A and B are shown apart, each in its own frame.
Chain A
Amino acid sequence: MFGYYMDLALRSLRRNKVLTALMVLAIAVGIGASMTTLTVMHLLSGDPLPGKSGTLFYPQVDADPTNDYSHTDPLDVMDYRSAVDLWSAHRADRQALIVDSKLKVQAPEVNLPSLMEMMLSTTSDFFPMFDVPFQYGSGWSADDDEKHARVAVISADLNNKLFGGTNSVGRALRLRDTDVRIVGVLKPWRPSPQFYMVAGGRFANGQTDDFYTKPEDVFTPFTSGLEINDGNFWQFTCWHMPDTPGHLQNAPCVWIRLWVELGSAAKVADYRSFLAGYAAQQKALGRITHADNTRLRSLMQWLDLNHVVPSDVHLQTWLAFAFLAICLFNTVGLLLAKFLRRSGEIGVRRALGASRRAVFAQCLVEAGLIGLLGGIGGWLLTLIGLWLVRRQPTVYADMAYLDASMFFTTFVLAIMVSLLAGALPALRASRIAPALQLKTL
């Protein structure tokens, strides 16, 4: 029966090519627009560490003793003292201190001009904790953190630039005025968003493109990094002017991020009470005043709070779906016209014994076929749309590709839309009274 309906549908589509083309085009354009934005949305709003993100947490303490702001939420990052205290307590399965800074990078053995790169200074747990993939070598050890070792891990990009992609482990790198030894080279690593640096999204008014920048190109132990690039660390914010800007170890400023890995619910509860205890103790010491204002958010909660997906992307997605809705209405109207124009033919079929259900099914097959054609067109338009996105100067442009799940979503969406569009016209067509139609023939 399905084959026969297919045959009827093809005949019907061929009978009025302009109308068919109009419907297919409407669905294709609607699908193309919504799949392009949906893919970008999918890319930006996904889980950066699937399977692992549930165990990663972002502790916050409110170290600002002033009453200059409302203290409804602690400041987004931590001061040196609190961060280092919490880190050295080693109360989590793994923990990483993070701070970034810009500095001059050069490979002394390679005759290339120096580069200005971002350096991430962190502790040894960073790499296993965030599943960072290595191409050569490995991260440094906890011992290296302790000893302020002059070692570094570099990105695949930088390795290609400086060493032509060869194994550069053991070679030297000049960071500002200090020579360090390369101990590891990363594989291409592009978490979306660059979750470990996310902060301040609440104040960005939706302009959060920067959360999707590439990871830093140079990684050094936290202790070493602070020494190598001393004087060039910039605050997230301060409650007083720092005495020596750029050197913030004792400044009334917040500038360091701390991430912890907690493997079980019990550990999370433990860490939460540890955090509260630490804040209370610091209050007793008179260093902080808002001791009850601590937070321990999971990675995904933290990303949500920071509204990581830029508002322009949200807006585009809404726009695209409204667009699809209009295309849907359009298709409903055209299908209605098409089916009802064939009232006579349907009347004959009904008179010859076709049930309402059969007429309904036949009409839906036709609608589904239009959906399939529209889906193919929509897929092509999505590819063009993503190509356009990649040509945009946004930081996440390089990631805009259609993956397999989005490819299938395209067709599922197209056929669903067309079946939805076909339902009402098909229902109307199946209700045609055969007697009335036969009379007018």
Chain B
Amino acid sequence: MTVHPILAALRRHKAGVSLIVLQIALTLAIVCNAVFIIGQRIERLNRPTGIDESNLIKISQAWVGAPSGDDAASIEKLDALQRTDLDTLRSLPDVKEVAASESLPLSGIIWSSDISLSPEDKGLTAQSAYYYGDEHLRSTLGLHLIAGRDFNAGDILHHTIRSTDVSPVIIVAKPVADKLFPQGDALGKTVYLDGKKPSTIVGIVEQLQTPTTASWGNPFAYNSVLLPVRLDGTSASYAIRTRPGREQAVMHEARKALLAVNPMRIMPDAWGIQSFSDIRAKAYRADRGMAILMGTVCLILLGVTAAGIVGLTSFWVGQRHRQIGVRRALGARRIDILHYFQIENLMIAGIGVVLGVLLAVGLNLWLMAHYEMARIPLFYMTAAVLAMLALGQAAVFVPARRASNVPPVVATRAA
């Protein structure tokens, strides 16, 4: 089969052909970019936190009428309240471990500052997020210690967030160690938090995401530091590791037990007691929503484009009814007629995807200039091109088969 008659026929339907070409090109450009955005969002929400996320609960609560001063008496009183809560939680059935834990990955509450090699805050620094907690923090979160030791009870300080005390020992995540000590000899070295007093690195954990998922946190997304400090304040947070599958039961029991110890506290359902899977779901709700929206839009777009191809090809089949009959009468087989429309569509879609790839690249460049977007990898482009060609073939099949069913006898009927 030669393409010459197809080209000749297409030349007589310039308007219809260019409409389908444009529609395919635009659809390709948009679907390609949208799918890429979806891919990026999915990649984002699949990032590991570095902690063992199953069977983990976070409790955040505030005491009513607790002292709020920075004097020693107030601090001791607040610390006593907190230790009572920790003991209460520890005594619950199905609880494996409990830690004082100011923040967790994805929870959004972040304290961050620069860690440097000299007290003047000069030279090599690493912006890092602080995780305050006690000696149970690392093991409760299930962080993997790759060098050094864990905190012990003797390391633990307790003060308010406003205190200027600095803990003499810290555990850092590997990215912080690698940044400050590229030779890999971070263990036992001295660093300065906020350019103040020295702290010694006593342990290194493999991976720990910072608590924020906002884009300003991206440059230091895994720069985390564990500080052996039970933070005292009118509010306190705890992390609980439960026995497998007992999350819901522990959440229920923990609420009852804490209110029994001290009913004067604020611990609402919305953020008081949450399982880590809830925290994860909340942190990435917007990303998931955007991905679903983009996905739906893509599907509808593909549907609309396919419908457009079906509609216009059907029209052409109807218009060429007699010619098809004549061709059949002159010896063309059904398969020839079918192939004619399929090749015609392939040519139209071919022009469409070439134009579409150019548009997609242009759109991608524009998005990169205006929004946070990366360059679309070749893989996405190729996949989109193949998908569009396949869509064209699928859409053309029904009208093309109808065309191939036109009986040769049509040629003999009234002109």
A245-B162, A329-B19 known; A323-B62 Cβ under 8 A: no
Q: Considering the chains assembled together, what is the distance between the CA atoms of A352 and B161 in angstroms?
A: 91
User: How would you classify the secondary structure of chain B's contact residues: helix, strand, loop or mixed?
Assistant: helix
Given contacts A334-B308, A337-B311, A428-B15, contact A319 B294 (CB under 8 A): yes
Tell yes or no: A109 within 8 A of B by CB: no
Instruction: Report the separation of the CA atoms of residues A333 and B15 in the bound assembly, to the nearest whole angstrom.
Output: 8
Neighbour of A333 across the interface among B37, B234, B308, B319, CB < 8 A:
B308
Q: Is B374 an interface residue (CB 8 A)?
A: no
Interface check B372, CB cutoff 8 A: yes
Cα-based distance from A311 to B301 in the complex (angstroms): 22
**A-facing residues in B150-196 (Cβ within 8 Å):** 161-162, 164, 194-196
Please indicate the chain A residues that have their CB under 8 angstroms from the CB of B64 in the complex: 104, 106, 113-114
Kindly name the residue among A104, A204, A428 whose own CB sees the greatest number of chain B CB atoms within 10 A: A104
A33 to B305, CA, bound (A): 16
Give residues of chain A (379-397) contacting chain B, Cβ–Cβ below 8 Å.
Answer: 392-394
CB distance from A162 to the nearest CB of B (A): 15
Is A22 part of the contact surface with B, judged by Cβ < 8 Å?
Answer: yes
- Complex Cα spacing A325 to B29, Å: 12
Interface residues of B in 288-302 (CB under 8 A from A): 289-290, 293-294, 297, 300-301
Using a CB-CB cutoff of 8 Å, which residues 13-37 of chain A contact chain B? 19, 22, 26, 29, 33
B307 touching A26, Cβ below 8 Å: yes
* Interface pair B286/A22, CB less than 8 Å apart: no
Query: By the criterion CB–CB under 8 Å, are B315 and A326 in contact?
Result: no
User: With a CB–CB cut-off of 8 A, which chain B residues contact A33?
Assistant: 297, 300
Chain B residues near A243 (CB-CB < 8 A):
164
Question: Which residues, 109 to 124 on A, are CB-close (under 8 Å) to B?
Answer: 113-116
The one of B16, B70, B162, B234 that contacts A104, using a Cβ cutoff of 8 Å: B234
* Pair B266/A114 contact, Cβ less than 8 Å: yes
CB contacts (< 8 Å) of B290 on chain A: these are 312, 316
Judging by beta carbons under 8 Å apart, are A22 and B215 in contact? no
Tell me whether A325 and B19 are in contact in the complex, defined as CB-CB below 8 angstroms, given that A104-B64, A114-B64 are known contacts: no
Least Cβ–Cβ distance between B367 and chain A, in angstroms: 8
Q: Which residues of chain A are within 8 angstroms of B367 by Cβ–Cβ distance?
A: 315
B26 adjacent to chain A (CB < 8 Å): yes
The answer to whether A176 and B308 have CB atoms under 8 Å apart is: no
Option from A176, A336, A392 in Cβ contact (under 8 Å) with B68: A176
Chain B minimum-CB-distance residue to A229: B68
Residues of B with C-beta under 8 A to A177: 68
| CB pair A326 B162 closer than 8 Å | no
Q: Given contacts A205-B215, A325-B26, A341-B318, are A330 and B294 in contact (CB under 8 A)? A: no
- Interfacial chain B residues near A337, Cβ < 8 Å: 16, 311-312, 314-315
Contact between A393 and B26, CB atoms less than 8 A apart: no
Chain B, Cβ-Cβ closest to A440: B415
A116–B68 CB distance below 8 A: no
- How far, in angstroms, from A319 to B371 measured CA to CA in the complex? 14
Q: Using Cβ atoms and an 8 Å threshold, which residues of chain B touch A204?
A: 214-216
Whether A203 sits at the interface, judged by CB under 8 Å, is yes
Q: State whether B294 touches A322 (Cβ < 8 A).
A: no
Question: Interface size on A (CB < 8 Å)?
Answer: 52
Please indicate the chain A residues that have their CB under 8 angstroms from the CB of B195 in the complex.
241
Is the C-beta of B224 less than 8 angstroms from some C-beta in chain A? no
The answer to whether the Cβ of B10 comes within 8 Å of any Cβ in the partner chain is: no
Q: B293 to chain A: which residues have CB within 8 Å?
A: 316
Docked-complex contact B286 and A312, CB < 8 angstroms: yes
Give bound CA distance, A22 to B19, whole Å: 16
Q: How far is the CA of A234 from the CA of B105 in the complex (A)?
A: 22
Please indicate the chain B residues that have their CB under 8 angstroms from the CB of A319 in the complex. 30, 34, 294, 297
Q: Tell whether A333 pairs with B286 under 8 Å between CB atoms, given A205-B215, A326-B30.
A: no
Asked if A332 lies at the interface with its beta carbon under 8 angstroms from chain B, I say yes
| Minimum C-beta distance from A27 to chain B (A) | 10
How far apart sit A114 and B362, CA to CA, in the bound complex (Å)? 55
Residues of A33-56 whose CB lies within 8 A of B: 33
Cβ–Cβ contact A246 & B19, under 8 A: no
A133 interface hit (Cβ, 8 Å): no
Chain A residues touching B, majority SS? helix
Contacts of A314 in B (CB 8 A): 370-371
B275: CB under 8 A from chain A?
Answer: no
Cβ of B207 under 8 Å from chain A: no
| B23 contacts the other chain (CB 8 A) | yes
* Contact flag A341-B315 (CB < 8 Å), given A115-B266, A322-B30, A326-B27: yes
Q: Which residues of A contact B216 (CB under 8 A)?
A: 203-205
- By a CB distance below 8 angstroms, the chain A residues around B44 are none
Q: What CA separation (Å) do A393 and B290 show in the bound complex?
A: 12
> Does A209 touch B at the CB level, under 8 Å?
yes
Residue of A nearest to B218 (CB): A205
Q: Are B162 and A231 in contact (CB under 8 A)?
A: yes
Q: Which residue of A lies closest to B263 (CB)?
A: A113
A116 with B371: in contact, given A241-B194, A329-B22, A341-B315 (CB under 8 Å)? no
Contacts known (A207-B215, A315-B371); A330 close to B68, Cβ less than 8 A: no
Q: In the complex, what residues of B have CB within 8 A of residue A245's CB?
A: 161-162
1/0 contact string of A92-129 vs chain B (CB within 8 Å): 00000000000010100000011110000000000000
Q: Which residue of A is nearest B20, CB measured? A: A333
Q: Are A334 and B312 also in contact (CB < 8 A) when A114-B266, A314-B371, A341-B319 are? A: yes
**Counting CB contacts under 8 A, is B304 at the interface?**
yes
**Residue A340 CB within 8 A of the other chain:** yes
Chain B positions 351-391 with a Cβ under 8 Å from a chain A Cβ:
367, 370-372
The answer to whether A332 and B19 touch across the interface, beta carbons within 8 angstroms, is: yes
Instruction: Decide: A333 and B23 in contact? CB cutoff 8 A.
Output: yes
Question: Bound state CA distance, A429 and B161, in angstroms?
Answer: 77
A393 touches B285 (CB 8 A): yes
Q: Which listed residue, A115, A209, A244, A326, touches B304 by the CB 8 Å rule?
A: A326
Distance, CA A315 to CA B186, complexed state (A)? 44
Q: Mark A326-349, 1 if CB is under 8 A from B, else 0.
A: 110110111011101100000000
* Residue A206 interfacial (CB < 8 Å): yes
- CB-CB < 8 A to B318: which residues of A? 341
The chain A residue sitting closest to B271, CB to CB, is: A116
Q: Which of B187-244 contact A (CB under 8 A)?
A: 194-196, 214-216, 234
**A22, A206, A209, A337: most-surrounded residue (chain B CB, <10 A):** A337
Interface string of B125-167 (1 = CB under 8 A from A): 0000000000000000000000000000000000001101000
Q: Which A354-400 residues have a C-beta within 8 angstroms of B?
A: 392-394
CA distance A113 to B63 in the complex (A): 11
> Chain A nearest CB: distance from B296 CB in Å?
9
For the complex, what is the distance from the CA of A205 to the CA of B213, rounded to whole Å? 12
Q: Can you name 6 A-B residue pairings with CB atoms under 8 Å?
A: A204-B215, A316-B293, A319-B297, A329-B308, A392-B286, A392-B289
Shortest 5 CB-CB contacts between residues of A and residues of B: A337-B315, A205-B215, A330-B308, A333-B19, A329-B23
A114-B266, A205-B372 given. 17 additional CB < 8 A pairs?
A: A22-B311, A26-B304, A33-B297, A113-B64, A113-B266, A116-B62, A209-B286, A244-B162, A311-B370, A322-B29, A333-B311, A333-B312, A336-B19, A337-B315, A340-B319, A341-B319, A393-B282
